[in-house]
Structure 1
Amino acid sequence: MTMHDDQVDVTTHVVATLIREQFPQWHGRVIRPVASTGTVHAIFRVGDDLSARFPLRPADAGEALEALEREARASAELAQVSRFPVPEPVALGKPGAGYPMPWSVQTWLPGTTAFDADPSGSDAFAEDLAAFVAALRTAGTKGRRFSGENRGGVLAHHDDWMAKCFEESEGLLDVPRLRRMWSRFRELPRTGAEVMSHGDLIPGNVLVAGGRLGGVLDTGGFGPADPALDLVSAWHLLRSGPREVLRRALVRDDLEWERGKAWAFEQAMGLVWYYVESNPAMSAMGRRTLDRLLGSKE
């Protein structure tokens, strides 16, 4: 599925060639593409216990390598504090076989994502999710501060992006009502110090087993951010009852809870229009989150 105009094509043949040339110890393992709603990487299983991840959008090779190295360090750090299974970094590959960028190898984590095993009505899952978020917060930022332009910094810094989202969403969503919501959200002050956060707790990054949290994927964004950021999970993943279970377990005050809603809103607005044709599952997830925020859906 092509999701971006500038997307880099990655095939099983390319992956097998890269493995053979750069990691001959894994040559001969079965290479299988992984069907995914993910929008950043093409993912391939390498045998039974590894996965190879290939950035989908072109970037300078040196900058891409630095990003992958940062992600590997972040993933390894998160693994030290999570009691739930998470992928761990194994190796970094180089450009080759027609693929123009570095790529990464991680341990493979079996399970079913929350897209396919909806845990939204499970209080037990909400308790697990709260335990995961609380554990990340205990890691401590070690003096680091939020850096970058993505979610987790200052809400009002996203005004230009939101303006584009509102423009692109005409005909898809109730834009006047959503503009009013953003005008309130963007003004919410932050009072808490930054904490360590996963940063992208959406259904595709969460594994479910028996209605419980079975593991967490895409951990390379682990880092300091607004303490409300991981509260997006309350709206992306949970119905109203379990959502309150998560809130009570994390002991979040009204202001931080509202900021969590604001970050979920910012993310959902971009998902609906950008992926409406290229990734309908992600677009539908954005709509569902907005419905929850608007109170029209549990």
Structure 2
Amino acid sequence: MDKMHIDEVDTDSSLVARLLAAQFPQWADLPIKPILSAGTNHAIYRLGSDMAVRLPLIEEAIEQMDKESRWLPRLAPHLPLAIPVPLALGAPGEGYPLRWSVYRWLEGENAESQRIVEEGQAALDLAHFITALQQIDAVNCPPPGPPISSRGVPLSTRDAPVRAAIAELSGVLDTDAVTAVWDAALQIPEWHGLPVWTHGDLLPGNLLVQQGRISAVIDFGVLGVGDPACDLIVAWSLLSTHTRSIFRTALSVDNATWERGRGWALSIGLIALPYYQSTNPVFAATARHMIDEVLAD
């Protein structure tokens, strides 16, 4: 498969073994297994039975890794679902130019490949997770304060890339219908409340499922504070029409925030589809599903 990014770094199990031998020799003898993933910013390798090595594929992912290392240990105790726990940070070496990380392994299969048995329960579990995350103090944090979410900002900041993506998708989608929904989303009032914590990327590939239930939320690369609407994208990336209503009721979300969330789902799907359609077909399928669900809603 072609690389997803022009500046993507090559990785393999041999590289992981060399990095561990040089920097964390206590783990050097553990088995290493590459993990197939539809993720876009990291290569993941299982290390032994209870750890994972994450190697950024692009330099942009370094900032994401640093953010996770700082904030996830503080957020984890307050959340009802498991989230990644960073164990160690590695330095560039062995021909690999970026910093990298070792995490505690979280059991489960991502929701793209593992069926959720009770979708109504999943809707409630996700609503409870988002509510708990939003209730964590995002104002009185020790300096430097929490990061501003790149998806906690006004939808209007996405206008140019969304319209460029719509143009690329001419002949693939009903661009008139998509444009009409996007134009309507831009008219929705902006968020004027206090900033709250958001995951920002609640897609099926970032949700782990065990025994038919969501057990963990992973990949906090766009974690930050801002408008809570961006975390509603899971309503269109994973949930059905029926379970969306369960999710919305459990969140008690106002109309404007709900509609901004719908706009975020559309924008993420539109921008991702042409970018990944030939290099990451699983993620491209999720993007197309989000667009279709928004249009059908």
- TM-score scaled by structure 1? 0.92
Q: List per-residue Cα deviations over 1:231-253 (Å, max 9, x = no partner).
A: 11111110011111111101011
Residues 1:73 and 2:70 aligned together: yes
Match of 1:129 in 2: 126
One-letter amino acid of the structure 1 residue matched with residue 44 of structure 2:
I
Equivalent of 2:98, from 89, 96, 101? 101
Match of 1:92 in 2: 89
Residues 1:181 and 2:178 aligned together: no
Distance (whole Å) between structure 2 residues aligned to residue 32 and residue 82 of structure 1? 29
| 8 Å CA contact retained: 1:122, 1:211 | no
| 8 Å CA contact retained: 1:272, 1:287 | yes
Question: Structure 1 residue 181: deviation in Å?
Answer: 1.3
One-letter amino acid of the structure 2 residue matched with residue 212 of structure 1:
R
| 8 Å CA contact retained: 1:74, 1:219 | no
Deviates more, 1:210-219 or 1:279-288: 210-219
One-letter amino acid of the structure 1 residue matched with residue 170 of structure 2:
E
Structure 2 CA distance for partners of 1:136 and 1:221, relative to 1, 3 Å:
same
Distance (whole Å) between structure 2 residues aligned to residue 145 and residue 71 of structure 1? 11
Structure 2 CA distance for partners of 1:154 and 1:138, relative to 1, 3 Å:
same
Residues 1:244 and 2:245 aligned together: yes
Question: Structure 1 residue 223: deviation in Å?
Answer: 2.1
Match of 1:157 in 2: 157
SS, match of residue 92 in structure 1? strand
| 8 Å CA contact retained: 1:17, 1:97 | yes
| 8 Å CA contact retained: 1:113, 1:206 | yes
Match of 1:27 in 2: 28
Residues 4-23 of structure 1 aligned to structure 2 (within 5 Å): 4-23=5-24
Question: Structure 1 residue 159: deviation in Å?
Answer: 1.5
One-letter amino acid of the structure 2 residue matched with residue 44 of structure 1:
Y
Distance (whole Å) between structure 2 residues aligned to residue 241 and residue 192 of structure 1? 29
Structure 2 CA distance for partners of 1:6 and 1:120, relative to 1, 3 Å:
farther
Match of 2:268 in 1: 267
Question: Structure 1 residue 167: deviation in Å?
Answer: 1.9
SS, match of residue 228 in structure 2? coil
One-letter amino acid of the structure 2 residue matched with residue 84 of structure 1:
L
| 8 Å CA contact retained: 1:74, 1:221 | no
Gaps of 5+ in 2: none
Give the superposed CA RMSD: 1.8
| 8 Å CA contact retained: 2:56, 2:62 | no
| 8 Å CA contact retained: 1:207, 1:216 | yes
**Corresponding residue pairs, total:** 291
Question: Structure 1 residue 161: deviation in Å?
Answer: 1.1
Match of 1:293 in 2: 294
Distance (whole Å) between structure 2 residues aligned to residue 279 and residue 72 of structure 1? 27
Distance (whole Å) between structure 2 residues aligned to residue 242 and residue 99 of structure 1? 44
Distance (whole Å) between structure 1 residues aligned to residue 182 and residue 63 of structure 2? 34
Question: Structure 1 residue 151: deviation in Å?
Answer: 1.8
SS, match of residue 287 in structure 2? helix
Match of 2:108 in 1: 111
Deviates more, 1:120-129 or 1:26-35: 120-129
Q: List per-residue Cα deviations over 1:36-82 (Å, max 9, x = no partner).
A: 000010111111111111111246xxxx6555322211221221211
Distance (whole Å) between structure 2 residues aligned to residue 217 and residue 65 of structure 1? 16
One-letter amino acid of the structure 2 residue matched with residue 178 of structure 1:
V
Distance (whole Å) between structure 2 residues aligned to residue 231 and residue 109 of structure 1? 24
| 8 Å CA contact retained: 2:56, 2:100 | yes
Distance (whole Å) between structure 1 residues aligned to residue 101 and residue 282 of structure 2? 25
Distance (whole Å) between structure 1 residues aligned to residue 63 and residue 171 of structure 2? 40
Distance (whole Å) between structure 1 residues aligned to residue 164 and residue 126 of structure 2? 32
Distance (whole Å) between structure 1 residues aligned to residue 19 and residue 92 of structure 2? 8
- TM-score scaled by structure 2? 0.92
Distance (whole Å) between structure 1 residues aligned to residue 273 and residue 118 of structure 2? 23
Structure 2 CA distance for partners of 1:65 and 1:258, relative to 1, 3 Å:
closer
Gaps of 5+ in 1: none
Distance (whole Å) between structure 1 residues aligned to residue 6 and residue 89 of structure 2? 26
SS, match of residue 147 in structure 1? coil
Q: List per-residue Cα deviations over 1:138-173 (Å, max 9, x = no partner).
A: 10202557636x322011111121122112212221
Question: Structure 1 residue 222: deviation in Å?
Answer: 2.8
Match of 1:255 in 2: 256
Distance (whole Å) between structure 2 residues aligned to residue 219 and residue 78 of structure 1? 11
Structure 2 CA distance for partners of 1:147 and 1:170, relative to 1, 3 Å:
same
